[in-house]
Amino acid sequence: MRQTCETYHHQAGTCKMGVDAMSVVDPRLQVYGIEGLRVADASIMPTVTSGNTNAPSIMIGEKAADLIRGIDGLHTGA
């Protein structure tokens, strides 16, 4: 059994984003206490979505790109 077992679950919620003492990542996706490091994947979700994590992970990556480029808020790309 040990040779054939694997997880089917999407690993998420392991680097919680927030502003409380249990959070690993701040709202700008920067890791607390480590300058220059961001986390931009499903691990920052404080709670796991009830559906597939693909779309939320893409959104997190897009937000990270905006934060790194210095773009805040919604934009139309125009």
Q: Which residues are catalytic?
A: 10
Neighbours of 38 (CB within 10 A): 15
* CB-based contacts of 40, cutoff 8 Å, min separation 6: 29, 60, 61, 63, 64
